[in-house]
Structure 1
């Protein structure tokens, strides 16, 4: 019995230590900003970052989308903006907000290498709570290449849609490239998208807070 409790205590302390180290690293690397080059160009393109509190999406005006991102499965003549996000399959499908978070889907997302999905949402107008990010035309092009390259495609270069709709009639899920885990989360994907567009952001941020910290600073 003593061996059992000693082993249980050791495992508990080890797990607690790992959680504390993870949290400390997340804090340090979230506050530590990137240093993208200050390009001498006209930043006349605007994308947006939107948050559910647990997921971040990048929102692009429909008029700026290239043909590769104008997929027939979600096209709508009334849409003005399309939001893109990447995340763990079960976590994304079952946890749209903090209220939907459970221990099982949270633990699975953090502790298991799992298949990701792309989440698209179409909007009929710009929302006031979105955070605007001004970009040069070249930076926007790099961002769009990053987004397009995140989709897993068939041999015919088609996106693989999951079901017919997402949380509502205006959002959709597709198969994505990569592996989701505690290091590569939905928010690190968004952070990497901003890095691709040479936007000042966190070195690494597994949560929404580090990214929003840099975007919301004057």
Structure 2
């Protein structure tokens, strides 16, 4: 019996080794594709700068977001995101940061340590429902993780329109959802979150709408931020 079982066990081990090799190969191909895709510049339409709107691109090392003034001649975000008028520690916010991501992760996963294996597997295989996350700031300061950009008014208007169009259709004002951060608001969004269309690739797409030089595919935060210069130390 033991001798008969050895060939079977060997086949099981060989099959497991082959599966692991295929998985490792797929991960390497994905990482290499992400590096190449984020390094190849896409063609963008850019208006002359002139008088412009200063935005910021923020990152926490995993996610990226776009920080914009709440009110400008091109867009009043209070009409798009009702939470834009929420007080921040008793102060009126001046800016919002907008990101796009997977619903369960944004609403129910405080840290990566809390991410369920079943959730990660579902997202990897089938994708997920997206939401937009809106954070609220009072005069945010620039820094390594808050990098400023100045867009022409025409470019900013085009980017703002694309961001607003990422919201899911609604008959009236969108009611904000509550998630893991009580200071943030979340709104149903268009599309499907997948490994090909991630929170960071969405940010890359939105910045490209605003005429920002950006990689063709930016699934990781680093792929976005390498196109954005940090603020000068002077």
TM-score (norm 2): 0.81
Shift of 1:96: 5.5
Q: Which moved further from structure 2: 185-194 or 165-174? A: 165-174
Change (3 A) 1:67 1:85: closer
Alignment match of 1:91 (pick from 83, 105, 112) = 105
Alpha-carbon displacement from aligned partner over 1:141-195 (angstroms, at most 9, x marks no partner): 11111111111132x1432532xx3344421111111001110000000000011
Q: Is 1:150 aligned to 2:158, yes or no? A: no
Q: Which residue of 2 aligns with 1:71?
A: 81
Q: Is 1:182 aligned to 2:195, yes or no? A: yes
Alignment match of 1:125 (pick from 128, 139, 151) = 139
For 1:122, what is the secondary structure of its paired residue?
Answer: strand
Shift of 1:68: 7.0
What number of residue pairs does the alignment pair up?
Answer: 215
Alignment match of 1:49 (pick from 47, 54, 57) = 57
Separation in structure 2 between the aligned mates of residue 84 and residue 72 of structure 1, nearest angstrom = 13
Q: Which residue of 2 aligns with 1:23?
A: 31
TM-score (norm 1): 0.87
Separation in structure 2 between the aligned mates of residue 196 and residue 120 of structure 1, nearest angstrom = 19
When the two chains are superposed, the root-mean-square deviation of aligned CA atoms in Å is 2.4
Gaps of 5+ in 1: none
Separation in structure 1 between the aligned mates of residue 16 and residue 154 of structure 2, nearest angstrom = 55
Separation in structure 1 between the aligned mates of residue 129 and residue 98 of structure 2, nearest angstrom = 17
Separation in structure 1 between the aligned mates of residue 162 and residue 65 of structure 2, nearest angstrom = 13
Change (3 A) 1:32 1:82: same
Residues 123 and 194 of structure 2 are in contact (CA less than 8 Å); yes or no, is this contact kept in structure 1? Answer: yes
Separation in structure 1 between the aligned mates of residue 105 and residue 33 of structure 2, nearest angstrom = 23
Residues 87 and 116 of structure 1 are in contact (CA less than 8 Å); yes or no, is this contact kept in structure 2? Answer: yes
Larger radius of gyration: 2
Change (3 A) 1:157 1:107: same
